Amino acid sequence: MSPSSDVFPERLKAARALRGLSQSELAKFAKLQASAVSHFETGARKPSLANIRKLADALNVSTDYLLGRSGEVSGAPTADVLFRDIAKLSADDREVIQQVVAAQLAAKKGGAKDGGDT
């Protein structure tokens, strides 16, 4: 299980301090409501993955860092999965997950080599 809800507020504060942004500046860059960053930092509201992605983009840090999955601002990517019907998860499904993860990592590696931003 990800400890994201415990770690996220602290990581968000740290990343914002690193980039020298106020809460309202960050909200503006991430196209979020002005009060959203404050709510996320106090833990009053939980972010969606869509919000986390916007914040990571605006702060130029990795999603993994904000989720507490990596100690570095831009470290090696980790992978998570959510799904319905967990009882129905088959061996074939696990194979699909591994293939998707491998393909995404390969694309990222290729992008990095080319100097592209994936």
Contact positions vs another protein (CB under 8 A): 1-2, 4-5, 45-53, 56, 62-64, 67, 77-86, 88-90, 92-98, 100-101, 104-105, 107-108, 118
Longest dimension (CA), the chain: 47
| Nearer to another protein among residue 16 and residue 69 (C-beta) | 69
In this structure, are residues 59 and 11 in contact, taking their beta carbons and an 8 Å threshold? no
How near is the Cβ of 111 to another protein at its closest, in Å?
10
What secondary structure letter does DSSP report for 38? H
What secondary structure letter does DSSP report for 111? H
How near is the Cβ of 57 to another protein at its closest, in Å?
8
Q: How far apart are CA 110 and CA 117, in angstroms?
A: 10
How near is the Cβ of 99 to another protein at its closest, in Å?
9
